[in-house]
Structure 1
Amino acid sequence: MSTNWAGNVTFSSAQVVSPATADDLRAIVRGSSAVHVLGSGHSFSTIADTTGALVSLAAMPEVFEVSGHAVRVSAGMTLASLAVRLEAEGLALHTMPSLPHITVAGAIATATHGSGSRSLAGAVRSVEVLRGDGSVVELTSAGAPVSMGGLGVVTTVTLDVEPSFQVAQTVYEDVAWTTLLVQMEQIFGGAYSVSAFVDWQGGATIFAKHRVGEPEFRFPGHAATEPVHPVPGQPGSRCTVQGGVPGPWHERLPHFRAEFTPSVGEELQTEYFVPRTRAVTALRALAEMSTVISPLVQACEIRTVDEEPQWLSPAYDRDSVAIHFTWVPDTREVLRLLPRLEEAIAPRPHWGKLFTVPPALLAARYPQWDAFRSLLREHDPKGVFRNEFLTRYFGPAA
């Protein structure tokens, strides 16, 4: 793999190394001056890049150990695979990203959220990390889950789980933009997971994922009678079952089926988090720029995320609204637009997607920024895992 999934990042390393055992992995880490782990390649930023050994954990032995209300799993397992294993045990995660194709560690390291009210990082009890000197430590600090690969190679993750549950998904079309803004709290609190896809022309489509057995909210608009894809023009058959038909949590919470290419394929992505208290103001500010957003956007999704304790989660310490853009694959024009959006709404961006917020501004938006920088120095004093991305935002190791 010489590029990421979207093709907008060409990796600096000539090849991906795929160790098959813990000893192989340790030898790679100890024998390299620079290492970074590549998950499924679904990040759109250079967060996973390195000039040294680019490591895939896909060939490592799978770990799946259930203990009470927790499960210990291998970091390189995909969420689709983990979900099937959990369902067989009568268990569930509280959330699933929109696409189940990504790895457990990759989703956690970037605070990817998806369905439900918390990111997957919010379920982390501990992470097992192989450090640059070959030692292995188990970390429970609130700074450890969303680490962007900077603390070492995450080999296993222990997650909270709950009993399996059923979900029914219904899509509501022709919802007015003004209705979405006026009834924002009721709409986004109306189901277990709610996504509003807005066209920036005055309309919205709501994907409501209702946990079976919980009270139902009467959403505005009308229920779709045929499967709907979040991106206009794409086949709805690639999406998880809609139409209010109940099914297992892992077959409804993602937007996309695991056996199909998620989203569009040819795209770029950005996601911005703003405090829920100023979400309407931020959305109105973006709406005023609809004429410059519309030519570049394929889909825009709005979701809510509850406050989290993970230091570098974009939802750290505040209930947030996430505004996600799926852009056309025009890197130059998208990067020209992003500073205007960021100036208008002052967001915390998703770490694995495109953004241009300067390091100093980001540092000011995260109260635990310096604490995380100290955590990086503690666990990676030689900067083995400090790639260009981490150095840009947190400085060099020495």
Structure 2
Amino acid sequence: MKRKTFIKTTAAFAAATTINPLASCKLDKKKMSEDLPLEPVRKNWAGNYTYKAKNLYEPKTAEEVQELIKELKAQKALGSKHCFNNIADSPINQISTKHLNGVIDLDEENMTVTVGAGAKYGDFAPELHERGYALHNLASLPHISVAGACATATHGSGVNNGNLATGVAAIELVNGNGEIIVLKRGDEAFNGAVVNLGALGIITKMTLDIQRTFDVRQDVFQELPLESLKENFNDILSGGYSVSLFTDWQNQKISQVWVKRRTDEKVKDLGDEYFGAKAATRNLHPITELSAVNCTDQMGVPGPWYDRLPHFKMGFTPSSGEELQSEFFVPKDQALDAILALEKKRDLISPQLMITEIRTIAADDYWMSPCYQQDCVAIHFTWKQNPEEVGALVTMIEEELEPFQFRPHWGKIFNVDPKVLSSRYSKFSDFLALAKKHDPDGKFKNDYLNKNLYQA
């Protein structure tokens, strides 16, 4: 089998896992009491949620994860802290995956790359490109961990692109019994285990599909008339490998259209107009008034996939921005009606809104994915950090989207009744059975899962 290793990233990872593989656990054994003093305050990246877990552990190997899971009671994996709710919190213990971050193996014959669960896409994408390979897509921010992104069905855009989890070929996890379990595409439980919401165990390794590397050009257009969106909805969203619409819901217009196209495919010059929107004359931030210095290059300048598919540069580490986020998936064939329903509420939405992004995601077969067996359009809201006002707006938006059988993003803010939510997942009971199999003692249960899964 033809394989190459990523020398620069793997060397440090190997050192951490072979020189003294149980060192950190031996140190932590003395501290494994669940009555320890509180650790320093931990917040998510946006600062809107403070984790309640009393203890934080930082294992460096799967074996250390096994030991922790066997010894501890209630526990939860903590990734890159990019969720806006309590999905990654625990009543007592959090187990960070940040040291499980190396690139482990590049398998050129099977066209896969295996990484530690805590690896962030931005950490290994440039070197993957240098080796001549690419992933199928990236989210708008490249700073999120692989395991966390896939567990919550996080996505990029593109009518033919599934969410990031659809690029997973295999996962390694430690279940509630402390057993290392490997599941591969085609295995009976695989489709239930990838988008797992942290209910099955702690992911330690993931194998991702790769393809030959490619460049992307990014063209941005401004002020798309709403009437044009109505008349050309599918054509507008199909105009590139990845297309995003940004709107503040004002003036009967879509503020910006970002069209990302692969240069290894036949692409024509879009000219100065895109379905009535005018070509931008400079790089833009999704919120037009803000500086674009941290945004990926636009103006049709080609660049590698990892530096164009995200909206923001990998060298830019997002600070704890004062914002909230919510996102709702609706069937693609009903999406225009859903957008128009929300547009009628623009005067209520606007005062608390920073920006809305609209993207497409192709169907998949993962049981708990919002795109399970249906092509979707995701309507994403970045809000000002006013929890009470935003909470009321989220409820209003959910009421407007009720006729479209919406599904919320698992890692963002939503208020939908758990019984209603569970009814929208045909494999819901199968997923509960799978969670029970891998976590028989409920070690990975937390307030989030108890509310949204186990009491549904």
Same fold (TM over 0.5): yes
The Cα shift of 1:15 comes to 4.0
Q: Distance in 1 between matches of 2:124 and 2:369?
A: 22
The answer to whether the Cα contact below 8 Å between 1:32 and 1:52 also exists between their aligned partners in 2 is no
The answer to whether the Cα contact below 8 Å between 1:115 and 1:254 also exists between their aligned partners in 2 is no
Counterpart residue number, 1:146:
195
1:180 aligns with 2:205: no
Counterpart residue number, 2:409:
350
Which one is further off, 168-177 or 254-263?
Answer: 254-263
Question: 2:349 aligned to 293, 299, 304, which one?
Answer: 293
Q: Gaps spanning 5+ residues in structure 2: where?
A: 1-40, 185-189
Match runs of 1:84-99 below 5 Å: 84-99=126-141
1:206 aligns with 2:265: no
Match runs of 1:39-50 below 5 Å: 39-50=79-90
Query: Are the structure 2 counterparts of residues 18 and 372 from structure 1 closer, same or farther at C-alpha, using a change threshold of 3 Å?
Result: same
Counterpart residue number, 2:29:
none
Residue type matched to 1:66 in 2? L
TM-align CA RMSD: 1.6
1:129 aligns with 2:173: yes
Residue type matched to 1:384 in 2? K
Q: Distance in 1 between matches of 2:66 and 2:106?
A: 26
Query: Are the structure 2 counterparts of residues 61 and 159 from structure 1 closer, same or farther at C-alpha, using a change threshold of 3 Å?
Result: closer
The Cα shift of 1:263 comes to 8.9
Q: Distance in 1 between matches of 2:118 and 2:132?
A: 22
Q: Considering only CA atoms, is the larger Rg found in Structure 1 or Structure 2?
A: 2
1:12 aligns with 2:52: yes
Q: Distance in 1 between matches of 2:267 and 2:352?
A: 36
Counterpart residue number, 1:29:
69
The answer to whether the Cα contact below 8 Å between 1:256 and 1:263 also exists between their aligned partners in 2 is no
Counterpart residue number, 2:446:
387
Which one is further off, 340-349 or 63-72?
Answer: 63-72
Q: Distance in 1 between matches of 2:206 and 2:69?
A: 19
Residue type matched to 2:429 in 1? D
The Cα shift of 1:20 comes to 2.3
Instruction: Give deviations 1:28-49, integer Å, cap 9, x for gaps.
Output: 1111111111111010011101
Instruction: Give deviations 1:136-195, integer Å, cap 9, x for gaps.
Output: 011241011110111001000111111100100011012112212221100110000000
Query: Are the structure 2 counterparts of residues 212 and 180 from structure 1 closer, same or farther at C-alpha, using a change threshold of 3 Å?
Result: same
Residue type matched to 2:422 in 1? A
Residue type matched to 2:169 in 1? R
The answer to whether the Cα contact below 8 Å between 1:190 and 1:216 also exists between their aligned partners in 2 is no
Counterpart residue number, 1:252:
308
The Cα shift of 1:232 comes to 3.3
Q: Distance in 1 between matches of 2:397 and 2:281?
A: 35
The answer to whether the Cα contact below 8 Å between 1:170 and 1:243 also exists between their aligned partners in 2 is yes
Question: 1:270 aligned to 326, 329, 333, which one?
Answer: 326
Residue type matched to 1:320 in 2? C
Which one is further off, 359-368 or 9-18?
Answer: 9-18
Q: Distance in 2 between matches of 1:358 and 1:171?
A: 38
Aligned length: 397
Residue type matched to 1:131 in 2? N
The Cα shift of 1:264 comes to 8.5
Counterpart residue number, 1:374:
433
The Cα shift of 1:61 comes to 5.9
The answer to whether the Cα contact below 8 Å between 1:231 and 1:264 also exists between their aligned partners in 2 is no
TM-score for both structures, normalised by structure 1: 0.96
Residue type matched to 1:395 in 2? Y
SS at match of 2:293: helix
Counterpart residue number, 1:284:
340
Q: Distance in 1 between matches of 2:293 and 2:431?
A: 43
The Cα shift of 1:349 comes to 0.4
Q: Distance in 1 between matches of 2:289 and 2:53?
A: 36
Q: Distance in 1 between matches of 2:62 and 2:180?
A: 11
Counterpart residue number, 1:359:
418
1:163 aligns with 2:207: no
Q: Distance in 1 between matches of 2:292 and 2:365?
A: 36
Q: Distance in 2 between matches of 1:295 and 1:77?
A: 37
SS at match of 2:128: helix
Residue type matched to 2:42 in 1? S
Which one is further off, 315-324 or 225-234?
Answer: 225-234
SS at match of 1:280: helix
TM-score for both structures, normalised by structure 2: 0.84
The Cα shift of 1:238 comes to 0.6
Residue type matched to 1:301 in 2? E
The answer to whether the Cα contact below 8 Å between 1:196 and 1:303 also exists between their aligned partners in 2 is yes
